[in-house]
Amino acid sequence: MKWELKMVDYKIADESLAEKGREALYIAEIKMPVTAKVIRERFSKEKPLKGIKVAGCLHITKETGNLVRTLKAGGAEVYLCGSNPLSTQDDVAAALIEEQINVFAWHGNTTEEFYWCIRQCLKAKPNILIDDGADMIVTAHKEFPELIESGTIIGCQEETTTGVKRFRAMEKKGVLKVPLFPVNDARCKNQFDNELGTGQGVIAAIYGMHILFAGKTVVIAGYGHCSSGMALRARGLGAHVIVTEVDPIKALQAKFAGYEVMPILKALSRADILLTATGCKHVIPPNPEIFETFKDGVILGNLGHFDIEIPTKELYSYAKEVRTIRKDVEELTFPSGKKVYLLAQGRLANLVLSEGHPSEVMDMSFALQSLVSEYMVKNREKLKPGIIEIPKEIDDRVGLLKLESMGVEIDHLTEEQYNYIHGYEEGT
């Protein structure tokens, strides 16, 4: 074993956790038939990523572990760092270095260490970057421009809504210098991973405080892909759900789905549990007077990408006492004596308190990442800097493979039907 470990470069929390990590990887593998079986088997034979270095800045979970094993089976040399200081599962990281994946990540790293890990991956001169939140690709632009100018980086992928928004803003400003595939925007990604995965994230909120949703008022900020899934599941658990929104159409959808809709300032005093997933900043205004309108004992959880939806920093500085009452749950006591319970320091509660999305949904997101990596290598000469939408054939292929893995058959258009829906001549 030791001689093998020397072939990988890594910094992780504890190598002795590898056995537990192997168990976790297996649990995910058997629930990821598309990524960890169909694509992996083909990649093992065809080696479409031979000679390619892939760097991933991703939540290091058992599902991500299976993505990188598939990329490696395809011939890639893989470097991995975490995309959130609190989401790395140290046992998975330990198991991956045994599989010759270069991992730089540990749970609870500081901001400085977080960027050190990103730099270690970029120092390996990767050809493909797979990001979750944009931090690695933005760092490549700022600190490793030679990787872009020399054409070493042939293309990049972004996994989450917040990251895609950052890249669209970069493109608009003319500063995005790499071909960027917004995997988040593929149908096989956001309609399943975001809605079902984050939707089920309310379970992580229960896990944090072990409370009953039934009979509670749950305020959900946002009614997008993630948050609409969360609202549905909170209601399914018996909660009364209030939705807050800034988009009139989304607000209407929430209203017609039967939720109460109102501005956040009106909703706050009614919340027993408040959950955010908007990708926005300061969804709760960072103001002590507003904090004092909370119900005593309210639970605050964020499932959006960054820890600024709930004004975490301002809450900590307003609290006269902060006490960890169980792992990743803090009790903040305000000067008035009121107590609030903050999950996961305001970071992605589903990933920090639980294990992130179920493997079944990540199977689709990571099948997309695998096939888009292959596509980038095959089409490397044609790729130009800027956002490149995920080819529909790849999205459809992942959907069909997933259906096939579940034994579900569907209809296919006849030529007559195809011509009809793509034509204009036939009418009344």
Q: Which residues bind ligand NAI (CB under 6 A)?
A: 160-162, 190, 194, 197-198, 201, 221-227, 244-247, 250, 277-280, 283, 303-305, 348, 350-351, 357
Which is closer to ligand NAI, CB of 253 or CB of 379?
A: 253
We find the least distance from the C-beta atom of residue 365 to ligand NAI, in angstroms, to be 9
Q: Smallest gap, in angstroms, from Cβ of residue 323 to ligand NAI?
A: 25
For the bound state, the minimum distance from the C-beta of residue 132 to ligand NAI, rounded and expressed in Å, comes to: 8
Closer to ligand NAI by CB, 77 or 193: give it.
193
CA 286, CA 88: separation in Å to the nearest integer? 28
Tokens 């120092």 belong to residue:
123
Among 256, 254, 264, which Cα is nearest to 219's? 264
Question: What does DSSP assign to residue 292?
Answer: T
The secondary element (H helix, E strand) that includes residue 8 is: none
Looking at beta carbons only, is 306 or 318 nearer to ligand NAI?
A: 306
Adjacency order of strands within the sheet including 102-104: 102-104, 77-82, 53-58, 128-131, 155-158, 179-182, 386-387
Of 201 and 208, the one with the shorter C-beta distance to ligand NAI is: 201
Q: Residue 373 in contact with residue 54, Cβ under 8 Å? A: yes
8-state DSSP, 109? -
Give least dist CB 125 to ligand NAI, A. Answer: 28
Distance, in Å, from the CA atom of 291 to the CA atom of 334, rounded to the nearest integer, reads 9
Please, which residue, 140 or 243, has the CB nearer to ligand NAI? Answer: 243
Which residues 6+ apart lie within 8 Å of 420 measured at CB?
Answer: 426
For residues 51 and 65, give the distance between their C-alpha atoms in angstroms, rounded to a whole number.
20
Rounded to a whole number of angstroms, the minimum distance from the CB of residue 291 to ligand NAI is: 17
C-beta closer to ligand NAI: residue 109 or 194: 194
CB half-sphere exposure, 388, CA atoms < 13 A: 20
Minimum Å distance from CB 60 to ligand NAI? Answer: 13
